[in-house]
Amino acid sequence: MSELTGSYDVLVAGGGNAALCAAITAREAGASVLLVEHAPRAFRGGNSRHTRNFRIMHAAPTATLTEAYAEDEYWDDLRRVTDGETDEALARLTIRSSGPALAWMESRGVRFQPSLTGTLSLSRTNAFFLGGGKALLNAYYRAAERLGVVIVYDAEVQDVRLRAGAVDSVVIESGGRTMRPRVKTVVVAAGGFQANIDWLRQYWGAAADNFLIRGTPYAKGRVLRNLLDQDVMPIGDPTQCHAVAIDARAPKFDGGIVTRLDVIPFSIVVNREARRFYDEGEDLWPKRYAIWGRLIAQQPDQIAYAITDAKALTLFMPSMYPAITGATIDEIAGKLALDRATLGETVRAYNAAVRPGRFSDKILDDCRTDGLAPPKSHWAQRIDAPPYVAYPLRPGITFTYLGVKVDERARVVMRNGERAKNLFAAGEIMAGNILGRGYLAGFGMTIGTVFGCIAGREAATYARW
Amino acid sequence: MRDGDATDEARRDMEICNACRYCEGYCAVFPAMELRREFSNADLSYLANLCHDCRGCFYACQYAPPHEFNINLPQAFARLRVESYREYAWPDSLAALFRRNGVIVALVVAFALAGVLLLTSGLQAPSAVYGPHTGTGAFYAVIPLGVMIAAGLATFGYAVLALAMGYARFWRDTAAGLKQRVNLSVWRRALGAAATLRNLSGGGFGCNDRNESFSGIRRWLHHAMFYGFVACFAATCVATVYHHVLGWVAPYPVFSVPVVLGTVGGIGLLVGTTGLLILKIVRDPVSGARELLGADVALLLLLAAVAATGLLLLALRDGAAMGVLLAVHLGFVLALFLVLPYGKFVHGIYRLGALVHSAAEAAPARGERTIE
């Protein structure tokens, strides 16, 4: 690993979208760049591997985007989902930079396509990567290699040692050996800590053991912890994470998109005690799917079961796991190891409460329950058409909100308010500055791209100066 | 006919891909997949034969090995295609020819060459075979025209029949549930997709022909090969008209239509097949069925041999080597005709069927699609 003992203008910690944008930008500006990716080559790219689009401001239709999406509407969307947990200056900078980013991305090999089927609501606001996030990463890695960025896999940045508000040294572990390359500046783009179960346990207790992590197992938050322990200013609620309901049969890590389940609005959801606990039809699914991870995390054993019948089978996107089916609710209870009597009573009470209405999965319809607690406000249909269908659900963690505070030049801010001289941050490790809570599809990639490019440019400028 | 493994693996892959759909911009396989929630054996045969093995989806796949989901769609489909070739082969008794197909093609070539050479040298006077011939009817002094026509018509005619039967079997199986009518417009779109290899464009940006990087080279090499083949076939047809309608007897001058078509076609075939062979050797071995490698290489080599000997014959037709060269060339052509329905060539027949199917079911507007 002689690469790790060399001398570089810029060290980039991380190997996802933001890291690549930073590395490419810095290298194009003439800096020598070392990119250190914790994952092996096959799993390179962090959570960007699982992404598929990029939220982009645009004034007119493009080859793959419909209509227009102006700055103020974009900003309104962000303000609404974050409930104001955002930094308007940084947010508007990100939004304004997203438009020109498209051409930048394309000229580095990223390809786009019209929005995916089933995501038509995003065709106006989001540009979809042809082949998804891994295809984007492949393009960036190829561009970086062509430019002469030195890329090292299977290597973890363990310590970015600060002294007097500047990076003094960097410690990298690779293959059991510790190495200290000489670097003038550092860009940290090493992600959040959602794959660090011990860390999650600090806030969630033993429940964290039952969380499934939807993305990379390499997002351990090592660099984040390291910086926060050295008087870097934190940002974002450390206890919060983006959690959705995914199939409980998904692997512990890296299950990605195919484990998600969109069946909840057309089901009843019961907990381990075979009792319902929340209104499954509260609002349109795109507005509600992100609350279900938390809801299930608060149930005993962090497990829940969506139960419905044959009528619902074609109403939602297929998931990779087959439905658990049964000719009777009793059989379903047996297969799910739920109390038969209780589940029978839950379904009976629900069915009795369902009011007649005109069912439509496209709108907030008038199919609801009456006198049931909790109610089901929409899409409530009797569960009475065998085969009965069930899916087990667990919280699937997408990302965490805790990060390091940055300014508009991607400089890391210290607790005393000063900027670290030669330390920049991009991607999930600083996304909490802008997306302090909630979720906006494709916005993580926008933050990563915009701040990756800013961090790369600033790092190269600093190194040259 | 099927051992089940390849089908099960293709079904598992499709069920995961259908929950992801990130690759839908690459080719016709994914839109066809999205019309289904369950995948019958016939569906999988159809989808496997719709796959052009461009490998865009493999390199883009977040679930490709070593990920535990272990998705390698081009590989799964390639394995299933080999099985489908056996399943739809006509007659049933010859389906076994798709096992160890490389060896079988090689044997057919050997016997065809030996047969033509032996018959030529055995039945004709040595002076007819080894002496120089020039002028009208030179070729037929070596091998009589009647024999050429009879052997050609018999073997090629049989090939057309067997391929047509294979197409019919494929269609009956895979399109049994097709609701849309196959009208002229469907055929036009399917033939357009076949003629342009639209599905080898990677959504417009090229395919992973060699590795992670994108190129259009495989598409263009296939075009060179395919249109080379077509030009050679056209040369034969024109020559037939010359002979039987106009009474002009071969050999024809260098700048005559049959010779120009044959020369251009021969060069195209040679370039295409050689390039595709090289690509097969240098590309990352991430996809492709081992069982099909022999068949693949055998057909490419055979086509290259037909083209090379044809060009050589043209170059040396005025010399003493013409007799032997003609026999060798026709030996290769005979072998090609014999193996057409029982070798890699059949991929084009089923691919066309799959493209027709795809064009038919893609016809309704997006919103009108029914999910089955």
pLDDT at residue B1 tops 60: no
Q: What is the pLDDT of residues A44-90, one digit of tens each?
A: 999 999 999 999 999 998 888 889 999 999 999 999 999 999 999 99
Q: Do A138 and B212 touch (CB under 8 A)?
A: yes
Q: Assign residue B336 a region: left if phi > 0, alpha if psi is -120 to 50, beta otherwise?
A: alpha
DSSP string, A161-202: EEETTEEEEEEEEETTEEE--EEEEEEE----STT-HHHHHH
Q: Do B25 and A114 touch (CB under 8 A)?
A: yes
Of A11-20, A395-404, B63-72, B206-215, least confident by mean pLDDT is: B206-215
Q: How far apart are CA A419 and CA A1, in angstroms?
A: 32
Q: Do B19 and A49 touch (CB under 8 A)?
A: no
Angle, vertex CA B42, rays to CA B40 and CA B47, nearest 5: 95
Mutation target among A17, A107, A113 for the B interface, most CBs of B within 10 A: A113
Are A146 and A213 in contact, with CB atoms under 8 Å apart?
no
Distances (CA, A) of A408 to A31, A56, A73, A442: 21, 19, 21, 21
Q: Is A238 on the interface with B (CB under 8 A)?
A: no
**Burial class, A356, CB count within 10 angstroms (exposed 0-12 / middle 13-18 / buried 19+):** exposed
pLDDT band at B318 (very low <50, low <70, confident <90, very high): confident
Q: Is B24 on the interface with A (CB under 8 A)?
A: yes
State the pLDDT at residue B128.
76
Q: How far apart are CA B31 and CA B198, in angstroms?
A: 14
Residue B145, min C-alpha distance to chain A (Å): 55
Q: Which residue has the tokens 């658990």?
A: A324
Angle, vertex CA B239, rays to CA B234 and CA B240, nearest 5: 95
Q: Whose CA is closest to A13, among A456, A400, A435, A463?
A: A456
Q: Half-sphere exposure of residue A195, counting CA atoms within 13 Å on the CB side?
A: 21
> What phi and psi values does residue A439 have, to the nearest 5 degrees?
-155, 140
Q: How far apart are CA A95 and CA A214, in angstroms?
A: 27
Beta bridge partners of A242: A399
Are B50 and B73 in contact, with CB atoms under 8 Å apart?
no
Residues of A in contact with B18 (CB under 8 A): 318
Are A150 and A3 in contact, with CB atoms under 8 Å apart?
yes
Q: Do B62 and A138 touch (CB under 8 A)?
A: no
State the pLDDT at residue B366.
43
Q: How far apart are CA B80 and CA B72, in angstroms?
A: 12
State the pLDDT at residue B121.
84
Q: How far apart are CA B264 and CA B255, in angstroms?
A: 11
pLDDT at residue B367 tops 60: no
Are A216 and A49 in contact, with CB atoms under 8 Å apart?
yes
Q: Which amino acid does the sequence have at A369?
A: T
Which strands form A177-179's sheet, in the order they lie side by side?
Answer: A155-163, A166-174, A177-179
Q: Is B203 on the interface with A (CB under 8 A)?
A: yes
- Mean pLDDT, to the nearest integer, of B167-175? 97
- For helices A443-464 and A88-107, the axis angle rounded to 10 degrees is 80
Using CA coordinates, name the residue in chain B closest to A322: B15
Q: Is B163 on the interface with A (CB under 8 A)?
A: no
State the pLDDT at residue A174.
95
Q: Which amino acid does the sequence have at A210?
A: N
Q: How far apart are CA A283 and CA A376, in angstroms?
A: 10
DSSP string, A38-66: SS-GGGTTGGGGG--EEE--BSS--SS--
Residues of B in contact with A118 (CB under 8 A): 21
Q: Is A132 on the interface with B (CB under 8 A)?
A: yes
Q: Which two tokens stand for residue A211?
A: 């969380």
Interface of A with B in 68-87 (CB under 8 A): none
For residue B31, cis peptide bond before it (omega within 30 degrees of 0): no
DSSP string, B249-303: PSSPPTTSHHHHHHHHHHHHHHHHHHHHHHHHHHS-TTSS-HHHHHHHHHHHHHH
Residues of A in contact with B16 (CB under 8 A): 258, 320
Mutation target among B22, B38, B201, B214 for the A interface, most CBs of A within 10 A: B22
pLDDT band at B370 (very low <50, low <70, confident <90, very high): very low
- Mean pLDDT, to the nearest integer, of B63-83? 96
Here the ipTM equals: 0.94
Q: How far apart are CA B191 and CA B352, in angstroms?
A: 7
Q: Is B173 on the interface with A (CB under 8 A)?
A: no
State the pLDDT at residue B338.
96
Q: Report the length, in residues, of chain B.
A: 372
**Burial class, A205, CB count within 10 angstroms (exposed 0-12 / middle 13-18 / buried 19+):** exposed
Using CA coordinates, name the residue in chain B closest to A41: B66
Which strands form A53-55's sheet, in the order they lie side by side?
Answer: A53-55, A126-129, A112-113
Q: What is the pLDDT of residues B8-41, one digit of tens each?
A: 999 999 999 999 999 999 999 999 999 999 999 9
For residue A387, cis peptide bond before it (omega within 30 degrees of 0): yes
Low-confidence stretches of chain A (pLDDT beneath 70): 1, 117-120
Write the residue in B34, B62, B371 that is nearest to A132 by C-beta.
Answer: B62
State the pLDDT at residue A355.
96
State the pLDDT at residue A119.
62
Angle, vertex CA A128, rays to CA B197 and CA A82, nearest 5: 170
> What phi and psi values does residue A205 have, to the nearest 5 degrees?
65, -150
State the pLDDT at residue A78.
96
Q: Do A50 and B62 touch (CB under 8 A)?
A: yes
Are B358 and B180 in contact, with CB atoms under 8 Å apart?
no
Residue B8, min C-alpha distance to chain A (Å): 14
Q: Whose CA is closest to A182, among A53, A3, A397, A388?
A: A3
Predicted TM-score (pTM) of the model is 0.94
Write the residue in A138, A254, A314 that is nearest to B67 by C-beta.
Answer: A254
Q: Which two tokens stand for residue B172?
A: 């009956």
- DSSP state at residue A272: T
Residues of B in contact with A115 (CB under 8 A): none
Q: Which helix (H) or strand (E) holds B116?
A: helix B101-123
Angle, vertex CA A52, rays to CA A49 and CA A56, nearest 5: 125
> What phi and psi values does residue B155 have, to the nearest 5 degrees?
-75, -45
State the pLDDT at residue A326.
97
Q: Which two tokens stand for residue B154?
A: 């018999």
Of A52-66, B123-137, B186-200, B249-263, least confident by mean pLDDT is: B123-137
Q: How far apart are CA A127 and CA A40, in angstroms?
A: 28
Residues of A in contact with B212 (CB under 8 A): 138, 142
Q: Which two tokens stand for residue B308?
A: 């090379």
Mutation target among A142, A213, A258, A389 for the B interface, most CBs of B within 10 A: A258
Report the relative pairing of strands A155-163 and A304-308 from DSSP bridges.
Answer: unpaired
Q: Whose CA is closest to A378, among A360, A393, A390, A391?
A: A360
Contacts of B336 (CB under 8 A, 6+ apart): B302, B303, B306
Q: Whose CA is closest to B157, among B344, B25, B340?
A: B340
Angle, vertex CA B150, rays to CA B145 and CA B155, nearest 5: 130
Interface of B with A in 213-232 (CB under 8 A): 213
> What phi and psi values does residue A207 have, to the nearest 5 degrees?
-55, -30
Using CA coordinates, name the residue in chain B closest to A132: B22
Percent share of chain B, pLDDT over 70 = 97
State the pLDDT at residue B2.
58
Q: Do B24 and A318 touch (CB under 8 A)?
A: no
Q: Is B85 on the interface with A (CB under 8 A)?
A: no
State the pLDDT at residue A120.
61
Q: How far apart are CA A396 and CA A162, in angstroms?
A: 35
Interface of A with B in 15-54 (CB under 8 A): 42-43, 49-50, 52
Interface of A with B in 90-119 (CB under 8 A): 111, 113-114, 116-118
Using CA coordinates, name the residue in chain A closest to B66: A42
The total of other beta-carbon atoms located within 10 Å of residue A223's CB is: 25
The radius of gyration computed from the CA coordinates of chain B, to the nearest angstrom, equals 22
For chain B, report the end-to-end CA distance as a whole number of angstroms. 27
